[in-house]
A and B are shown apart, each in its own frame.
Chain A
Amino acid sequence: MKLLLKGGRLLDPVSNRDEVVDIQITDGRIDRIAASVSAPQGYKQVDLKGKIVAPGLIDIHVHLREPGFEHKETIETGCASAAAGGFTAVCCMPNTNPAIDDESVARYVHAKGKSVCDGIVDVYPIGAATKGRKGTELSPMAELAQAGAVGFSDDGAPIASAEIMRRALEYSSMYGVPVIQHAEEPTLTQGGCMNEGTTATRLGMPGIPPIAEELMVARDIILLRYTPAARYHVAHISTKGALDTVRAAKAEGLNVTCEVAPHHFALSEEAVAGFDTSTKMNPPLRTRMDILALKAGLKDGTIDVIATDHAPHTIDEKEVEYTQAPFGIVGLETCVGLCLSELIGNGVLTLMQMIDKLSTKPRAILSLPAILMKEGEPANITIIDPGLEWVVDKEAFKSKSKNTPFHGVRLKGKAIGIINNGKSTIG
Chain B
Amino acid sequence: MKLKSRHLLGLDGVSKEELTLILDTAASFREILDRPIKKVPPLQGKTVVNLFFESSTRTRISFELAERRLSADVVNFASSGSSVSKGETLKDTARNIEAMKIDMVVIRHSAPGSAHFLTRVLDANIINAGDGWHEHPTQGLLDMYTLREKFGTLEGLRVCIVGDITHSRVARSNIFGLITMGAHVSICGPTTLIPRDMEHLGVKVYHRLEDVIPEVDAFNVLRIQLERQASGLFPSLREYHRFFGLTKEKVAAARKPITIMHPGPINRDVELSADLADGEHSVILQQVTNGVAIRMAVLYLLGTTN
Q: B133 → chain A, closest Cβ, in Å?
A: 3
Contacts of A324 in B (CB 8 A): 111
Contacts of B169 in A (CB 8 A): 204
- Kindly supply a per-residue 1/0 record for chain A positions 323-353, scoring 1 wherever the CB is within 8 Å of any chain B CB and 0 otherwise: 1100000000000000000000000000000
Most chain B C-beta atoms within 10 Å of own C-beta, residue among A198, A205, A321: A321
Q: Is the CB of B112 within 8 A of A322?
A: yes
Contacts of A275 in B (CB 8 A): 112-113, 116-117
Q: Looking at the complex, which one of B121, B134, B200 makes contact with A203 (CB distance below 8 Å)?
A: B134
List residues 184-199 of chain A with CB under 8 A from any CB of chain B. 196-198
Interface: A320 (CB within 8 A): yes
Interface: B198 (CB within 8 A): yes
Q: Is the CB of A274 within 8 A of B200?
A: no
Interface: B237 (CB within 8 A): no
Contacts of A203 in B (CB 8 A): 112-113, 134
Q: Is the CB of B89 within 8 A of A320?
A: yes
Q: Is the CB of A321 within 8 A of B197?
A: no
From B194, which residue of chain A is reached at the shortest CB distance? A201
Q: Is the CB of B12 within 8 A of A321?
A: no
Q: Is the CB of B112 within 8 A of A198?
A: no
Interface range, A side: 20 to 34
Q: Is the CB of B112 within 8 A of A319?
A: no
> What is the interface of chain B mostly: helix, strand, loop, or mixed?
mixed
- Kindly supply a per-residue 1/0 record for chain A positions 282-326, scoring 1 wherever the CB is within 8 Å of any chain B CB and 0 otherwise: 000000000000000000000000000000000010011111100
Q: A17 → chain B, closest Cβ, in Å?
A: 48
Interface: B201 (CB within 8 A): yes
User: In the bound complex, what is the Cα–Cα distance between A56 and B187 (angstroms)?
Assistant: 56
- Kindly supply a per-residue 1/0 record for chain B positions 128-149, scoring 1 wherever the CB is within 8 Å of any chain A CB and 0 otherwise: 0001111100000000000000
Q: Is the CB of A204 within 8 A of B114?
A: no
Interface: B109 (CB within 8 A): yes
Known contacts A274-B116, A321-B111: A205-B196 contact under CB 8 Å: no
- Kindly supply a per-residue 1/0 record for chain B positions 159-173, scoring 1 wherever the CB is within 8 Å of any chain A CB and 0 otherwise: 000000000010010
Q: Looking at the complex, which one of A197, A200, A204, A274 makes contact with B135 (CB distance below 8 Å)?
A: A204
- Kindly supply a per-residue 1/0 record for chain B positions 69-101, scoring 1 wherever the CB is within 8 Å of any chain A CB and 0 otherwise: 000000000000000000001110000000000
Q: Looking at the complex, which one of B12, B91, B113, B198 makes contact with A322 (CB distance below 8 Å)?
A: B113
User: In the bound complex, what is the Cα–Cα distance between A282 and B195 (angstroms)?
Assistant: 20
Q: Looking at the complex, which one of A197, A316, A320, A323 makes contact with B112 (CB distance below 8 Å)?
A: A323
User: In the bound complex, what is the Cα–Cα distance between A364 and B273 (angstroms)?
Assistant: 68
Contacts of B133 in A (CB 8 A): 204-206
Q: Is the CB of B197 within 8 A of A320?
A: no
Q: Is the CB of B196 within 8 A of A196?
A: yes
User: In the bound complex, what is the Cα–Cα distance between A198 and B202 (angstroms)?
Assistant: 11
User: In the bound complex, what is the Cα–Cα distance between A319 and B120 (angstroms)?
Assistant: 10
Q: Is the CB of A321 within 8 A of B196?
A: no
Number of interface residues of B (CB under 8 A): 25
Q: B15 → chain A, closest Cβ, in Å?
A: 17
User: In the bound complex, what is the Cα–Cα distance between A322 and B115 (angstroms)?
Assistant: 11
Q: Is the CB of A321 within 8 A of B109?
A: yes
User: In the bound complex, what is the Cα–Cα distance between A197 and B63 (angstroms)?
Assistant: 33
From B12, which residue of chain A is reached at the shortest CB distance? A202
Contacts of A206 in B (CB 8 A): 133
Contacts of B91 in A (CB 8 A): 319-320
Most chain A C-beta atoms within 10 Å of own C-beta, residue among B112, B131, B134: B112
Contacts of A320 in B (CB 8 A): 89-91, 117
Contacts of B116 in A (CB 8 A): 274-275
Q: A350 → chain B, closest Cβ, in Å?
A: 36
Q: A268 → chain B, closest Cβ, in Å?
A: 14
Interface: A386 (CB within 8 A): no
- Kindly supply a per-residue 1/0 record for chain A positions 202-232, scoring 1 wherever the CB is within 8 Å of any chain B CB and 0 otherwise: 1111110100000000000000000000000
User: In the bound complex, what is the Cα–Cα distance between A205 and B132 (angstroms)?
Assistant: 8
Q: Is the CB of B200 within 8 A of A321?
A: no
Contacts of A197 in B (CB 8 A): 196-197
Q: B203 → chain A, closest Cβ, in Å?
A: 10
From B13, which residue of chain A is reached at the shortest CB distance? A273
From A201, which residue of chain B is reached at the shortest CB distance? B195
From B109, which residue of chain A is reached at the shortest CB distance? A321
Q: B9 → chain A, closest Cβ, in Å?
A: 9
User: In the bound complex, what is the Cα–Cα distance between A12 and B111 (angstroms)?
Assistant: 50
Q: A390 → chain B, closest Cβ, in Å?
A: 26
Contacts of A316 in B (CB 8 A): 89
List residues 200-244 of chain B with CB under 8 A from any CB of chain A. 200-201
Contacts of A322 in B (CB 8 A): 111-113, 117
Residues of chain A at the chain B interface (Cβ within 8 Å): 196-198, 200-207, 209, 274-275, 316, 319-324
Residues of chain B at the chain A interface (Cβ within 8 Å): 12, 89-91, 109, 111-114, 116-117, 121, 131-135, 169, 172, 195-198, 200-201
Give the top 4 A-B pairs by smallest Cβ distance, nearest first.
A275-B113, A204-B133, A204-B134, A321-B111
Known: A275-B113, A323-B112, A323-B132. 5 other contacts (CB 8 A): A201-B201, A202-B201, A205-B112, A275-B116, A319-B121
A-B contacts, 16 listed (Cβ < 8 Å): A196-B196, A198-B197, A200-B195, A201-B198, A202-B201, A204-B133, A205-B112, A205-B132, A207-B195, A319-B89, A319-B91, A321-B109, A322-B111, A322-B112, A323-B112, A323-B113
